[in-house]
Amino acid sequence: MIRIKPVLILGSIVLALGAIWIFGGRWARGHVNYITAVDDHPLTCWTCHVYTQKDNFIAKMMNETYVSPYKMDITVDGQLLYVIGQESNELVVVDAPSGKVLEKIPVGLKPHTVILSPDGQSAYVSNQWADNIYRIDLDSHQVTDTLMGGSGPAGMVISPDGRHLWCVNSYSNDISIFDLENLQERRRLKAGNNPVSAAMTPDGSEVYVSSRRTIPKPHMTHPLTEMTVSGTKYQRVSERRLFQDAYIMESVDVTPSGDLVLATLIRPKNLIPTVQIERGWMMTQGLGIIERESGRMVQLLLDEPNAFYADPFGLVITPDGKKAFVSHGGVDKVTAIDLDELRKVLAEAPDDELEDYANNLGLSSRYVLGRIPTGHNPKGMVLSPDGTLLYVAERLNDRIAVINTESLETVQTIGLEGPRRRTVARHGRQVLNNAKGTFQNQYACYTCHPDQHEDGLVYNMAGTDMGRNLANVQTLRDIGDIPPYKWNGKNQTIYKQDGMRFSTILTRNESFTHKELDALVAFIITDNPNPPNLRYNPHGELTAKQERGKEIFYRTHDNYGNEIPEENRCYTCHPPPYFTNMEMTDVGTLADSDDPMKFDVPQLNNVYESAPYLHDGKAPTLEEIWTEFNDFDEHGVANDMRKDQLNDLVEYLKSIGDAKNYMEEASVYEASLRKKKKE
Amino acid sequence: MERKKIWQKAIRVAVFAGLVSVMLSCGTSHKGKIIAVELDGEPGNLDGAQLVLLDPGKPDKESGILVSDFASAASPSLSHEGRYLYFQGKENQGDPWQIYVLDLKKGALSKVIDLPENCTHPASLPDGSVVFSREGSIKGQSVQNLWKCMMDGCCLTQLTHTPARNTFSSVLWEGRILYSSKQLYPEVGDEQLMIMRPDGTKSELYTPGCCGLLPESGGLESPDGYIYFISSDGQLSRVLHRRPLHTFENLSKELGGSFASVTPAADSSCVVSYLPLDGSTYGLYRFDPRMSETPAVLFHGDKHLVDPLIVDVLDPRPRILPSPVDPSKPTAILMIQDINHSGLPVHPEIEGDSLAKRIRISTLEGELGVVEAKDDGSVYVKLDADIPFNIETLNSQGEVLRGPSDWIYLRPNERRACTGCHVNPELAPRNYQPQAVKEDPVVLVSEEMDISQKEEEQAK
Alpha-carbon separation of residue B195 from A141, A437, A583, B146, B413 (angstroms): 59, 21, 45, 12, 19
Residues of A in contact with B417 (CB under 8 A): 272-273, 275-276, 281, 466
Instruction: Report chain B residues whose CB lies below 8 A from the CB of A277.
Output: none
Alpha carbon distance A349, B68 (integer Å): 63
Q: What are phi and psi of B273, to 5 degrees?
A: -95, 115
User: Phi/psi class of residue B385: alpha, beta or left (left: φ > 0; alpha: ψ in -120 to 50)?
Assistant: beta
Q: Is the pLDDT of residue A324 over 70?
A: yes
Model confidence at A60, pLDDT cuts 50, 70, 90, reads confident
**End-to-end distance of chain B based on CA atoms, in angstroms?**
81
Q: Chain A, 331-360: which have a CB under 8 Å from a chain B CB? A: 355-356, 359-360
Q: What is the ipTM of this complex?
A: 0.92
What is the mean predicted confidence (pLDDT) over B76-93?
A: 96
* Phi and psi based region of residue A629 (left: phi greater than 0; alpha: psi -120 to 50; beta: remaining): alpha
B347 burial level (CB within 10 Å; 0-12, 13-18, 19+): middle
Question: Is residue A604 scored above 70 in pLDDT?
Answer: yes
pLDDT at B26: 45
A674 has pLDDT over 90: no
Question: For B113-145, how does the pLDDT look when each residue is reduced to its tens digit (9 = 90+)?
Answer: 999 999 999 999 999 999 999 999 998 889 999
Give dist(CA B420, CA B378) in Å, integer.
9
Backbone angles phi and psi of A524, in degrees to 5: -60, -40
Measured between CA atoms, the residue of chain B closest to residue A354 is: B430
CA angle B101, B103, B106 (to 5 degrees): 150
DSSP A306-325: TB----EEEEEE-TTSSEEE
CB of B407 closer than 8 Å to CB of B188: no
Q: Are strands A111-116 and A100-106 parallel, antiparallel or unpaired?
A: unpaired
Q: Look at strands B84-90 and B98-103 and give their pairing.
A: antiparallel
Q: Is the pLDDT of residue A165 over 90?
A: yes
Mean pLDDT for all residues in chain A: 95
* Nearest-angstrom CA–CA distance, A633 and A641: 11
Side chain identity, residue A407? S
In the three-class reduction of DSSP (H, G, I as helix; E, B as strand; rest coil), residue B371 is classed as strand
Q: What is the mean pLDDT of residues A141-162?
A: 97
Confidence category of residue A275, pLDDT binned at 50, 70, 90: very high
Residues of chain A neighbouring B174 (CB-CB closer than 8 A): 306, 439-440
- The predicted structure's pLDDT at residue B24: 47
Taking the C-alpha atoms of residue A464 and residue A663, their distance in angstroms, rounded to an integer, is: 40
Cα–Cα distance, B419 to B336 (Å, whole number): 6
pLDDT, position A79? 98
CA A60 to centroid of chain Cα atoms: 25
Residue B1 has pLDDT above 50, yes or no: no
Q: Are B107 and B97 in contact (CB under 8 A)?
A: no
Interface of A with B in 225-284 (CB under 8 A): 245, 267-273, 275-276, 278-281, 284
How far does A363 lie from chain B, in Å, by closest CA? 9
Q: Which residue has the higher pLDDT, A392 or A38?
A: A392
Residues of chain B contacting A269 with CB distance shorter than 8 Å: 428-429, 431
Half-sphere exposure of B185 (CA within 13 A, CB side): 20
What's the pLDDT at B380?
Answer: 97
**Mean of pLDDT values over A398-414:** 98
pLDDT of residue A363: 98
Q: How far is B417 from chain A (nearest CA, A)?
A: 7
**8 Å CB contact of B432 and A271:** yes
Which contiguous run of DSSP H or E holds residue A623? Answer: helix A622-627
Residue A193 one-letter amino acid:
N
What is the reported pLDDT for B426?
95
Q: How many angstroms separate the CA atoms of B203 and B183, rounded?
A: 14
* pLDDT attached to residue A20: 78
Query: What is the 8-class DSSP label of residue B435?
Result: G
pLDDT for B27: 47
Q: Do B320 and A361 touch (CB under 8 A)?
A: no
Q: What is the pLDDT of residue B447?
A: 60
B379 and B393 Cβ atoms separated by less than 8 Å? no
Nearest CA of chain B to the CA of A499: how many Å? 11
For residue A148, the model assigns a pLDDT of 97
Does residue B105 surpass a pLDDT of 70? yes
Residues with Cβ within 8 Å of B205's Cβ and at least 6 positions away in sequence, in order, are B192, B193, B194, B195, B245, B425
What was the pLDDT predicted at B45? 93
Spatial distance between the Cα atoms of A215 and A236, rounded to a whole number of angstroms: 20
How close does chain A come to B63, measured CA to CA in Å? Answer: 40
Predicted local distance difference test score (pLDDT) of residue A200: 98
DSSP A500-533: HHHIIIII-SPPPPHHHHHHHHHHHHHS-PPPP-
Q: Could you tell me the pLDDT band of residue A196, with boundaries at 50, 70 and 90?
A: very high
Q: What is the pLDDT of residue A300?
A: 98
Q: Write down the pLDDT at residue A118.
A: 96
- pLDDT above 70 covers a percentage of chain B that reads 91
Burial A149-180 (b: 16+ CB within 10 A, else e): bbbbbbbbbbbeeeebbbbbbbbbbbbbbbeb
A464 pLDDT more than 90 = no
For residues A676 and A679, what is the distance between their CA atoms, to the nearest angstrom?
A: 5
Cα distance between residue B124 and residue B131, in whole Å: 6
Q: Does residue A544 carry a pLDDT above 70?
A: yes
At a CB cut-off of 8 Å and minimum separation 6, what does A179 contact? Answer: A163, A164, A186
Of B333, B425, B429, the CB nearest to A272: B429
Residue B458: predicted pLDDT: 52
Digit-coded pLDDT (tens) for B148-191: 999 999 999 999 999 999 999 999 999 999 999 999 999 999 99
Q: Give the separation between CA A85 and CA A83, rounded to whole angstroms.
A: 6
E strands present in A434-566: 458-460, 470-472
Q: Is the pLDDT of residue A2 over 70?
A: no
CA distances from B414 to A442, A614, B201, B409 (A): 21, 30, 7, 10
Query: DSSP 3-state assignment of A243?
Result: strand
CA distance B27 to B105: 5
**B216 vs B295: CA distance, rounded Å:** 21
Q: Which residue of A has its CA nearest to B378?
A: A272
- B380 sits in the region (left: phi over 0; alpha: psi -120 to 50; else beta) called beta
